[in-house]
Structure 1
Amino acid sequence: MTEASSRQSYAFAFVMTTSLFFMWGFVHNLDPILIPHLRRAFNLTVLQSALVDSAVFVAYFVMALPAGMLIRRVGYKWAMIFGLSLFAAGALLFLPAADTHRYAVFLAALFIIACGLAVLETAANPYISMLGRPERAVQRLNLAQSFNGLAATLAPIVGARLILVDGVPDAQLQAMPESLRQATLAAEAASVKGPYLAIALVIMLIAVIFYFLKMPAVGAAGGGAAGQAAPAAAGSALLRAMRKASIRRAAIAQFFYVGAQVCVFSFFILYASQAAGLAQVAAADYLGWGCGLAFVCGRFAGTWLMKYFASARLLFSYALACAGLSAVAMFAGGMAGVAAVIGIAFFMSIMFPTIFALGIHGAGADTEMGSSLIIMSIVGGAVLPLVFGYISDATHNLQYGFAAPLLCFLVIAWFARAAAREQGAQAAVANDGVLQHV
């Protein structure tokens, strides 16, 4: 293969893998639309509606380790195709979920989608990280994750107009006979069928493209002798990865980061409706054009700033900023609180890819299992929203729920400080080596 064709192969593989970041970002950011939609359709409390996030992020806990083993056995490409297949199957399950009007079936569909996403994220994050020069891994991953942020902008805006239909007013709904009321709510719930059918078709098309795509080999995964590891060897690799302090700290930080992100995005529409009195569609626009656009701008800005500042130090500063803004969201009402939450979206934008890249940096043969552990910790997205919902229901004030993300950002600041010390020590060792050769 010539140098030019090799560059083209890397570039196309990067583009196609980055498309996965957009697609899982899009479907994840439909969840904040689903929560108020299903809350009305099934008359749920805040805590019960948080089960949408729990169904999604429990799947990451269940699938992350099997995904790592799958990557070691069949390689990144086939793992991605398998993840896409689960993604499409879960999206198609939304059709019978809407037809039967059962909350449990919606949760099952979300769980299956998330199983596919867990495989995709376990494969795509390290693949992008290793697809090029090691010293550019954090920037490369932030660039790919920027398209995840773009999806966070578009999904609420599009989803609100397709899913949050203008239904019967609540007062009129409550006055209906029970059978008619249930039929009306079932008809409203059916608005999810078109969007999720379209998502399933797009995902199947992407899977077909991956089937024919020749992807550059990176790292140790990819089948062959290394990929045929026995379960005992896989278990040994997992224990070895857990012994690395950077991977352990990254898994803890990612648990709290994902929990914080899910709290901020998933409850934004409810927060804006209660704290600022916004209508749901208007709140969804603020979620898209406000939080989503701030998130994607933060990703691009953070990628640029990492040319001049160490990634761990930038992460530390951003975590403290998010903690402060969470306190504002707790105690400031009206549009000031909404603005604070939008600010959180900007500053938390670099956190997932930066924590991930810092965690697996220098992991070598432990990269796949380290990646699995960090992706597994995404289960924080299932736990922290329940804490948010419990605090909100107990205090009868959704704003106080922001105590949960405030705690999360303080944990991320702890991780960033430890990573900054590690980066500083590595830089000192590298400088000593340079001086010895002078």
Structure 2
Amino acid sequence: MLINTRSSSLLPMLIIGILFFTFGFVTWLNGSLIPFLQIACELSHTEAYLVTMAFYIAYTIMALPMSMVLRRTGYKNGMVLGLLVMMVGSLIFIPAALSRTYSVFLMGLMVLGTGLTILQTAANPYIVVIGPRETAAVRISMMGVLNKLAGVVAPLVFTAWVLSDISQFSEGALAAMSVSDKTEALVDLSSRLMTPYAIMAMLLLLLAAFVKFSPLPEPDLGEESTESGISRSILSHPQLMLGVAALFCYVGAEVIAGDTIGLFGKGLGVNNFGQLTSYTMGFMVLGYLIGMLLIPRWISQSKALMVSAALGIVLSVLIYTASPDNYGVWSSLLLWTGVQGIPNVVLYVALFGLANALVWPAIWPMALEGLDAKETSTGSALLIMAIAGGALLPMLYGLVADILQDSQTSYLLMIPCYLFILFYAFKGHKLRQW
């Protein structure tokens, strides 16, 4: 371990914190982007959730290759490379918006996901080794607060900049237009993405230069293996492989909670549907803050994971049974906030953020426990590959919603996800042999 004092870890934590905010801002724009592109490109639910497929599948495809890239570039230069790749992805949105071509949007999202894969593969193990392993969940929670705060900010910025006067693009308004007027209106709507993504590209370039010339030290993870791919030895660690599966379930559940809520609210007639991802992220921030206070002083990482999974199961049942017209919970408990109210069923989806908050920071150190330095990089890459859950499970949700014509019932898909996480919390992380 390169960094072992509180003072020497402060600067790396600050720099990595800025990167985690960047992760969150880019990632959680998708929650607002999905209903936007559904209107602009005239998509079904299944087609709209190709956004999450294109974005998150990059993690699966690129995680292991990027771990090999990091061995050559080092972690610091790898972060710079990741930011530059993200800049390219942002620039692809400009021709996509000009042409209103959904496939080009998806290409830009996949490039953005590739850049984030490099950053995540470097940053997450960095946070684990920067201090004592037993407090790793606290450090990851601190990064999570920044990540999810960005998730609160991003939909608000997107709504204010891109979704203003969105009522003129409602289904009824578009249906009343002639074909030529409708096409012109949708091209105008699509072109709203050009300026914000151009600005994002510029900011990513500036951030890459900042990281490149910062005094960020290189973490010492031991002598890395030069083997490519996955060695048989890494597969012999059940706590890691089951952790990968649990993380797959978690990321799928997290993305469903954050990225489907906007389209779900839009279908229920919620006016501020573009901001709903902020509600989910707000509850995640609350969950992270609770975790920072309680772990490990009052509650262990495994107990926190048990509580999180149980809460997710309860919320899934509540969503299935709730009335779409009932605002009672918001009126009783949250009216004092002054924030625009939402139906109970949408609030329960947002509360998944509270259930999900502590899952990622708990699983990472539990899954990597017992791995030697040579295995940590590959183990981290496998955990990053589990982010594929964010590509596949939301697509499955969208497919079920289209088949059943019922987005509310489709949230029952969350129950098996949380049941597996509960198993990992009780037993899976303790296993040391198959």
**TM-score (ref. length: structure 1):** 0.88
Tell me by how many angstroms 1:337 deviates. Answer: 1.0
The unaligned stretches of length 5 or more in structure 2 are 325-342
CA contact (8 A) 2:238 2:431 kept: no
> What is the CA distance between 1:200 and its match in structure 2?
1.4
Q: Secondary structure at the match of 2:203?
A: helix
Cross-structure match for 2:261: 268
Q: Which residue of 2 aligns with 1:294?
A: 283
* Alpha carbons of structure 1 residues 420 and 362: separation in structure 2 relative to 1, 3 Å: closer
Q: Show CA shifts across 1:40-74 (max 9, x none).
A: 11111101101000000110011110111122222
**Aligned equivalent of 1:340, options 334, 348, 353:** 348
Q: Does structure 2 conserve the Cα–Cα contact (< 8 Å) formed by 1:71 and 1:368?
A: no
Paired AA for residue 293 in structure 1: G
Whether 1:196 and 2:177 are equivalent positions in the alignment is no
Q: After superposition, where does 1:205-216 map in structure 2 within 5 Å?
A: 205-216=206-217
CA contact (8 A) 1:35 1:266 kept: yes
Q: Secondary structure at the match of 1:132?
A: coil
Residue in 2 that maps onto 1:427: none
Which residue type is aligned with residue 101 of structure 1? R
Which segment is superposed worse, 132-141 or 20-29? 132-141
Structure 2 residue 164 is the aligned partner of structure 1 residue 165: yes
Paired residues of 2:239 and 2:429 also in contact (CA < 8 A):
no
Give the superposition deviation at 1:400.
1.0
SS in 1 for 2:217: coil
* More displaced 10-residue stretch of structure 1: 28-37 or 238-247: 238-247
- Hey, what does 2:333 align to over in structure 1? none
Q: CA deviation at 1:361?
A: 2.3
Moved more, 195-204 or 376-385: 195-204
> 1:355: which partner in 2?
363
Give 3-state SS (helix, strand or coil) of 1:239's partner.
coil
- Whether 1:250 and 2:243 are equivalent positions in the alignment is yes
State the alpha-carbon separation in 1 of the partners of residues 294 and 117 from structure 2.
Answer: 29
Question: How far off is 1:302 after superposition?
Answer: 1.2
Residue 85 of structure 1 deviates from its aligned partner by 0.9
Shifted more, 317-326 versus 69-78: the winner is 69-78
**1:104-115 alignment to 2 at 5 Å?**
104-115=103-114
Hey, what's the Cα distance between the residues in 1 that align with 2:16 and 2:403?
Answer: 43
- Give the alignment's Cα RMSD to 1 decimal: 2.0
Q: Distance in 1 between matches of 2:406 and 2:361?
A: 32
Distance 2:41 2:193 in 1: 14
Shift of 1:286: 4.0
Structure 2 CA distance for aligned equivalents of residues 116 and 239 of structure 1:
28
Paired letter, 1:30: L
Question: 8 Å contact 1:331–1:399 — kept in the other structure?
Answer: no
Report what 1:328 is aligned to: 318
Native 8 Å contact 1:165 1:191 kept in 2: no
- The alpha carbon displacement at 1:7 in A equals 5.3
Moved over 6 A (4+): none
- CA-CA distance at 1:238 after TM superposition: 3.7
Quick one: structure 1 residues 22 and 298, their matched pair in 2 at CA, closer, same or farther if it must change by over 3 Å? same
Aligned partner of 1:418 in structure 2 is 427
Residues 32 and 277 of structure 2 are in contact (CA less than 8 Å); yes or no, is this contact kept in structure 1? no
- Preserved contact between residue 155 and residue 277 of structure 2 (Cα < 8 Å): yes
Identity, % of aligned positions: 30
SS in 1 for 2:232: helix
Q: Which amino acid aligns with 1:294?
A: F
Q: Any unmatched runs of 5+ in structure 1?
A: 424-438
- 2:181 aligned residue: 180
Distance in 2 of aligned mates of 1:7 and 1:349: 25
Q: Secondary structure at the match of 1:299?
A: helix
CA distance in 1 between counterparts of 2:100 and 2:300 reads: 50
TM-score when normalising by structure 2? 0.89
Higher helix share: 1
- C-alpha spacing 1:419/1:311, structure 2 compared with 1 (3 Å): farther
Alignment partner, residue 410 of structure 2: 401
The CA deviation at 1:194 is: 1.8
Per-residue Cα deviation, 1:230-269 (whole angstroms, up to 9, x for no partner):
4xx233x643222211110111011111111111111101
Instruction: Return the offset for 1:8.
Output: 4.7
CA distance in 2, matches of 1:369, 1:394: 39
Q: Deviations over 1:122-141 (max 9, x none)?
A: 11000011112233222111
C-alpha distance in structure 1 between counterparts of 2:202 and 2:316, whole Å? 38
Report the CA distance between 1:178 and its aligned residue. 2.3
* 2-structure distance, mates of 1:122, 1:420: 21
Residue range with higher mean Cα deviation, 302-311 or 40-49: 302-311
Aligned with 1:213: secondary structure?
coil
Of the three residues 375, 380, 386, the one matched with 1:377 is 386
| Distance in 1, Cα, partners of 2:8 & 2:247 | 31
Aligned match of 1:366 in 365, 375, 398?
Answer: 375
Query: Structure 2: how far apart are the matches of 1:186 and 1:64?
Result: 35
Q: Look up the SS of the partner of 1:234 in the other structure.
A: coil
CA distance in 1 between partners of 2:17 and 2:66 (Å): 19
